Amino acid sequence: MSIKTILCAIDVSSNDRDAKVLKQAARMAEVEGAKLDVITVLPDFGMSLVGSFFDSEFHEKAVEHAHDALQDAVSEALGADTNENIRHIVATGNTYEEILKLAEASEADLIVVGAHKPDLAEKVLGPNSARVARYAKVSVMIVRD
């Protein structure tokens, strides 16, 4: 099987933990000669009660900030010169669903995600990496910290 596109999912709020995930995805992309896409997902507050407390420009500002943070995280983990060869994607919604949607839309051959020590919420709800691995139509590499 030839790998042409790798999708790497990270949380920009924890780029110190996800640097290892980015480095592994970049190594795989280099070995395979594959394109690397990096995604981060913002929660969707728009339709919830919480969303009514934010002004109308909040989402646009959040996406812009997340995109800048994503580029910074990639630069810190892989070097500043790598950003031009990587597609940076900021999605909004449920994390594992957005990762799976993008994997299908971009025809990714491999998804790389991190698995971190679960906190109480993840023990109750189930971590995103487990859901991605369960529902993905392609292979998933889980990088543990």
Burial of residue 72 (number of CB atoms within 10 Å: 0-12, 13-18, 19+): middle
| Per-residue tokens: 141 | 């590499």
At the topology level of CATH, where does 12-106 sit? Rossmann fold (3.40.50)
Domain ranges of the chain: 12-106
Q: What is the pLDDT along the chain (145 residues), one digit of tens a residue?
A: 689 999 999 999 876 789 999 999 999 999 999 999 999 999 876 655 555 666 778 878 989 999 999 999 999 999 977 877 899 999 999 999 999 999 999 999 999 999 876 664 454 445 888 899 999 999 999 998 7
